[in-house]
Amino acid sequence: MQDLWKLISSPRHLLVFEAAARSLSFTQAARELNVSQPAISAAIKQLETSLGTPLFVRQHRAIHLTKSGEKLYADVTAGFDRILQSARSISGQRSREYVTLSTSTAFANYWMVPRLSDFHIRYPEIDVRLQTSDREPDIDAEGISLAIRRGHGHWPGCESALIAAEVIFPIASPQVMATAVQLRNIANLPHQPLIHLEEPIRERPTWTDYFRAFDINFIETKGGLRLNDYALVLQAAMAGEGFAFGWEHVTDRLLASGLLAARRDWSWATGAGFYLVWSKGRALSQDAKQTRDWIITQSRTAQI
């Protein structure tokens, strides 16, 4: 490559030569490259001097390629065509890249989706795809960019950032909350209709765990509505089916809009949290980095 630069002195001269040879006009090449006509003439003269041979026959109001000029033009055109095809291929690949965020249905519906308009305004060129699942996929094996996980921030082969501490309190529709009898203290809550979350794979706290945190002896029964997805639990609670767990970071907008009511005074901080995780061994794309940073910023804003 150093030998090439010695021969042509500047890669810009090849661009100038190609434009002039294609149009057979220094004036037209100047318009195309947005420079002056003397600048085109000077660049061509420098290239001819470097190569030691004329590339154009200059006539009054016309130029023509010499034999050397025709050979160089054929090779430069072929080289530029290959570069163009490669650039188009890379550009097409870039346009097909997207960022995957693996999460639960509830987090996608009630945390991520309401914030997507802000994301699209800030990053209209980034294609984010939500991938909901009832399990915790292997982000390396499945090529997942980012994921939301519940835990304590430590997963083998993963980096993590806290999105929200796990804080749980009872929620219900405003009507159910208002009409619940004898609910002056938390000890009476077990006597209310309870909606149970029973995810098949993910580990989640149960009503038994919740009441144990308040030193309440709760005997689990087979009764009550039991659902395997937290998004369904929230729908059932809004429909007036009873009391459910309210994860603070997921339900805050539903509570603010009046679709649900909560007993925040009966909050339980479990010590766990919900984390954004990504691979430690696989570099994130620039789009994934921006998406990660945006999610972290959103989570901190929500906690203010």
Chain centroid offset of residue 188 CA: 44
For domain 2-96, the CATH class is: mainly alpha
Place of tokens 């980034």: 126
Tell me the per-residue pLDDT of 230-265, one tens digit each, with 9 for 90 and over: 999 999 999 999 999 999 999 999 999 999 999 999
Of 160, 161, 180, 156, which is closest to residue 170 (Cα–Cα)? 180
- Give the three-class secondary structure for 304: coil
Give residue 150's pLDDT band: very low, low, confident or very high (50, 70, 90): very high
pLDDT-derived band at 3 (thresholds 50, 70, 90) equals: low
Pairwise CA distance, residues 210 & 217, whole Å:
10
Going by pLDDT thresholds of 50, 70 and 90, the confidence category of residue 304 is low
Q: Which CATH number fits domain 100-302: 3.40.50.10490, 3.40.50.150, 3.40.50.1100, 3.40.190.290?
A: 3.40.190.290
Q: Is the pTM of this model over 0.85?
A: no
Phi, psi of 107 (to 5 degrees): -65, -40
Radius of gyration over every alpha carbon of the chain, rounded to an integer in angstroms = 33
Residues linked to residue 279 through DSSP beta bridges, in sequence order: 158
Domain borders along the chain are: 2-96, 100-302
Characterise 18 by phi-psi region: left (phi > 0), alpha (psi -120 to 50), beta (else).
alpha
Can you read off the two tokens belonging to residue 262? Answer: 């909560």
